[in-house]
Amino acid sequence: MKIYDELVWRGLIKDVSSPEIEEKLNNGGLTFYIGTDPTGDSLHIGHFSSFLISKRLKDAGHNPILLVGGATGLIGDPKPDTERPMITKEQVQHNFDCLKAQAQKIFGFEVVNNYDWSKDLNFIDFLRDYGKYFNVNYMLNKDIVKRRLDLGITYTEFSYMIMQAMDFYWLHENKNCQLQVAGQDQWGNITAGIELIRKKTGKEAYGFTMPLLTKSDGTKFGKTNGKAIWLDREKTSPYEMYQFFINSEDDKVIDYLKFLTFLTPEEIMELEEKNKTQPHLREAHKALAKEVITFLHGKEAYEEAVQVSQTLFSGQIQNLTLEQVDVAFEGVPTVEIEENEMNILDALILVGAAKSKREAREFVNGGSVLINGERIKDLEFTVKKEDAFGQSKTVIRRGKKNYFVLKYNG
């Protein structure tokens, strides 16, 4: 299957600037760029779905450039409903450094910063060399601008389109970049760049957009909507990522396999059939988790995520490390104590596993209380710091799914 047909099959092409795109993608040899602004210090899974297309195109014989917008990040791409908060130059630089290192580690491609060619441009030159090529009526007709007119849009946000067009022009002239790839919400900015190149050079440039990775309710993945799934394992552990994918919506998991993995169409269609006929096995979800985590963090990280998940499911947590406990029980109700030991009944009441000593006795006598994975039926049992994970945390379980943590400060 040729690259254009594969991208269409995967649902990765939304808008194209020219019918020539198909032939040019299939022939290889294009230098193209895809970008993001450094609004955070890590990429997230929404970026991953977009940046993966860079590898697909590279494998098809094209030359990718990843742009991290140190200049545009200082301005802020207009959001549909409000203006983005300004972030300091120091924070933008820090985020750029983090994203550059992360992108190069994951993808290994050239990374450029549009601040390098924007920082010395003065306002008069900006108006003379770029502003005169943009008709205000043309800019007002772009979707993102139209959506903001009723709410109001600042001149700074309004100028973002020109800045992104400048990027395409600069890369066209200095890196022989002929193609820009972006999410569908960037279509207006892409076409603005194509027009700028045509007006200033008389040459043709191209662009296409990808549908955004979304949940069933239509919201996109990112740090704005809900909890972000970060590519930095210190912000989102492989275990958390595994849980996220394993619990993906059944009606979206095949789309995610197409967007986020390099599994062949035949492999994905086989998983799609299993998802329909044997949904309880969650084969598609498991394959998705394995492919993404292995690509990002390696086979060992994936296997550890599976191990922690299986350990928690079985309840046999005795062999977990403190680090694994930290990851697995993040967000679980935690109470910090100064004492190094405590009677089990008092511990159950303290963490909220029981409302009274009478209720705590019933839970212990009924065998529904586990301390660090061990079932306890002794009402005189003492919960001790010396028996805790890393002598730091004791995990209390009541019933099948109710977990609590005692953290020792003493």
Binding residues for ATP: 223
What is the secondary structure of 296-363 as a DSSP string? Answer: HH-HHHHHHHHHHHHHHHHT--TT--HHHHHHHTTTS-EEEES-SEEEHHHHHHHHTS-SSHHHHHHH
Element housing 35 (H / E): strand 31-36
SS3 content of the chain, % helix, strand, coil (to 5): 50, 15, 35
Helix axes 283-297, 253-260, angle to 10 degrees: 30
List, in sequence order, the alpha helices (H) in 136-225: 136-140, 143-149, 155-158, 160-175, 187-201
Both structure tokens of 8: 């269409």
**Run of H or E including 99:** helix 89-107
- Please state, in angstroms and rounded to a whole number, the distance separating the CA atoms of residues 333 and 406: 9
* Residues 144, 172 contacting (CB under 8 angstroms): no
Return all residues near 225 (Cβ < 8 A) that are at least 6 apart. 219
What is the C-alpha end-to-end distance of the chain, expressed in Å?
63
- Binding site, annotated residues for L-tyrosine: 33, 160, 164
Hunting for tokens 């990429």 — which residue is that? 43
Residue stretches of the annotated binding site? 33, 160, 164, 223
DSSP three-state, residue 73:
helix
